[in-house]
Amino acid sequence: MDRPTWAPEGVDMQKPSPARMYDALLGGSHNFAVDRMAAEMGIKLVPDLPRLALSNRAFLRRAVRFMLDAGIRQFLDIGSGIPTAGNVHEIVHELDPEARVLYVDIDPVAVVHSRTILAGNDRAGAIEADLRKSDDLLAAVRETGLIDFDEPVGLLLIAVLHLVADDEDPVGKVAALREAVAPGSFIAISHLTSELRPEDAGKLGEQSATVNKIGIIFRSKDQIVELFQGWDSVEPGVVELPLWRPESQRDQHEQPGRSLGLGGVARKV
């Protein structure tokens, strides 16, 4: 298999990546055949899976705009994935070109592509780091000089915490980030859920573990709410993705009552 020019050496092109699978679901071009195959298998199990990806992307856009309206001018996007249309820095810089954005991902393909897009932009950057190693991640963020933890930060944990196993303490990982940021900071979390469609969640979870060898955890609403411990929830709380402050009918990618994702935004007081 020929290695694309955008794929770094050492990347396993035979193993699917959550970031590249998500890119495939969104119709992106920075994914491998194995990622497209894994995404297609998921769609065969749950045909409306691409709608979930679009719904998640729309939630990200609305959450970022909400934080901008609240005065946030620096954003830390952890588990950012492959940048596609409507990247966080595009949303942010449309309002304030001086605001700062730092993308963080464990997938080197995502990081390399992000850096290519951001070349020449001194208000945005991308680093490779692992959310499960929060001390190392925070140190790497500080080294960039883009994020000032003495000022409020917009933390984005979009579709990433369902890749952190229970024994890796996802609640603790979020708490470590909360401790690092200043009062007035916000956090946005979206997460796959077993709350509304347990059968579909079970099928996708089993496929991810046995076929793709990734390990995606579909959590209950109570478990997702627990991730916001210590934060002050923003109305309407943790809800289905299309129901979090929809701006128009175009945000209704999924039918209410059938979303496989929940999301919410909260503030550090």
- pLDDT score, position 8: 57
User: What is the C-alpha to C-alpha distance for residues 90 and 109, in angstroms, rounded to an integer?
Assistant: 20
Provide the β-strand partners of residue 267: 186, 232
- pLDDT score, position 5: 57
Q: What is the DSSP letter of 139?
A: H
| pLDDT tens readout for residues 207-250 | 888 766 788 899 999 999 999 999 999 999 999 999 999 988 77
**Among 43, 41, 46, 37, residue whose Cα is nearest residue 14:** 37
**Among 8, 52, 59, 12, residue whose Cα is nearest residue 33:** 12
Overall pTM > 0.85:
yes
| pLDDT tens readout for residues 76-132 | 999 998 877 678 999 999 999 999 999 999 988 889 888 888 989 999 999 999 999
Q: What is the DSSP letter of 157?
A: E
Mean pLDDT of all residues belonging to the chain: 90
- Amino acid at site 35: D
Residue 1's alpha-carbon distances to 6, 19, 114, in angstroms, are 14, 20, 24
- Classify the phi-psi angles of 80: left when phi > 0, otherwise alpha if psi is within -120 to 50, otherwise beta: alpha
User: What is the C-alpha to C-alpha distance for residues 156 and 103, in angstroms, rounded to an integer?
Assistant: 9
Structural class in CATH, domain 18-267 = alpha beta
- Amino acid at site 51: R
